[in-house]
Structures are given as C-alpha cells and as structure tokens.
Amino acid sequence: MAIAIASAPPSGRIRATPYARRLARERGLSLSAITGSGPNGRITGDDLINFRAPQVESVSPPAPAILAPVSADPAPAIAEPLKITVAAAPSAIVARVDFSALEALLSQVRELRPDVSREDICLKAAAVASGAIASVIPDKALVLLTASGKRRRFNGLADASLSAIAKLRLSAGEDGAAAFAVSFLGRAGIRPVAARLIDDGAARLVIGAEEKDGFAECLLGYDPARVDDESAEEFLAEFRDLVETPFRLLV
C-alpha cells in the first residue's frame, strides 16, 4: 500500500493558523522553534499556549522592548499627587434677638444723651460679649463697617460709657482693621444669611434691623480654623442676653 507524504510548504513558509501567528507576535516567539500538532504539521493556537521554551545555561541577550511580554515591562512611574489647598468657608450661626428692652432703655438715655443710638448700645454689647472669643482678639479691638464702606477701629469699648462710644462713632476716626468686625443692616425684612470675613478677620457680627414685633436676627460668621463652635455660640448667646437686658451695660 502506498503512503502519501505531505510536501513542504512553498518558499519555506511555516504552516500556522492566523491565531497562532498573532500569539507568536504578541509573545515574541519564533514559529520555527515550535512543532505543530495540526494537519500536515500546522502550528495551532494551542501549540503556542502550551509551548515552553527550553532551559539554557547561557544568558541570552534581552529581547527588544517592543517584543517583551507585558509582565516584563517595568512598572510605570506614579506621579506624586497634586496638592491643592482649599480655604475653609466661614461658619455662621444666627440668633433671633428681642430689642424691645434696648429701645426702652434708649428712650430714657436719649433724654440726657440724645447722640446715643441703638448702634452704640450694640457695639458695647458686642465688645463685652467678645470675651468669649478673646483668644482671637487679644487687643479687645473691633472694627465697625459703615454704610460708606469705611472701617472704623475701636479699642476699649467694653469699659467705655455709651456717650463716649457715641462720640467715638461720630468722630472722623481712621480706617483700620481688626480680627472682629461689626456691621448693621438698615432695612427691616432683610435677613442676614452669610457674613464675609473682612481682610484677615476671625469673626464678624451682622446685626439685622428690627421687625414690627421688636425682634431682629443677628448673625455671627467666623473662621472655624480660629474660632471653635462652642466659643461662637457662647459669644452670640451673651450678646443676645446683653441686648435683651441692656441695663447691665450701664453698670
């Protein structure tokens, strides 16, 4: 019986499936080193997958980087994360304050000191209450933000009389800055909901205008990195108590 012998592929081309050729390129292998198990010795994908390179004693030159297996590539350098500093937004708390007693006191004081105003009593109350946040205003100074946009700096208001405060407020004074600022809203029905800190200030008190029921909202905005929540609450509570019992400010 005659035995058919397969002839070699023309031009010395190695028989291999397209999948096997792709695997050989990806793995940097030469098809000539692999024995095919397919029909007529054709190299299949399984031949590439199961192929194990023979162990040799000599050190072979490194394969070109483009043909190296993925696992052989050095790990890419990891860039150091970008550091972004974000300034903390001011915190704010609000108290609804009854100004009825203050207005009653003011009507009596004005009989002798007509220059004394609601603002003067509030400034003294704020100065006295600022002891709760004394750590950020060691010089006991505050700056009054006027409607004209000027900043008038005051010292020692906690110990000054109402008439002395009125004179200081009405004097020309000098623009200045302080860690603690006070401002007033002039229209009823306008509620303070935020307080932009001034320059490098740590806190700002915004005093709202009185409503028909005698109440007004007062907001304390503060830098949480410099004034803790407990101190802020203590200040606003003390300010409210002084406004609602203003005769304490005359002692």
CATH code of the domain covering residue 103: 3.30.559.10
Find how far residue 119's CA is from the centre of its chain. Answer: 34
Lowest-confidence pick of 2-6, 119-123, 134-138: 2-6
In the chain, how many domains are there?
2
Q: Is residue 75 part of a domain?
A: no
First to last CA, the chain: 133
Q: Is residue 123 part of a domain?
A: yes
Residues 106 and 142 in one domain: yes
Residues 18 and 96 in one domain: no
Which one is predicted more confidently, 47 or 230? 230
Give 80's contacts (C-beta < 8 A, 6+ positions apart): none
Lowest-confidence pick of 91-95, 215-219, 247-251: 247-251
How do residues 17-50 score in pLDDT, each as one tens digit?
888 888 888 888 888 888 888 887 888 888 878 8
Judged against a pLDDT cut of 90, whether residue 231 lies above it is answered with yes
Tokens of 91: 């915190």
Residues 55 and 120 in one domain: no
Q: Where are the alpha helices (DSSP H) in 28-161?
A: 45-50, 100-112, 118-129
Which one is predicted more confidently, 131 or 71? 131
Residues 25 and 138 in one domain: no
48's enclosing H/E stretch is helix 45-50
Contact 92, 171 (CB under 8 A): no
DSSP code, position 196 = P
Whole-structure pTM value:
0.64
Tell me which residue range forms the domain holding 168.
91-250
Residues 43 and 164 in one domain: no
Residues 179 and 120 in one domain: yes
pLDDT at 54: 64
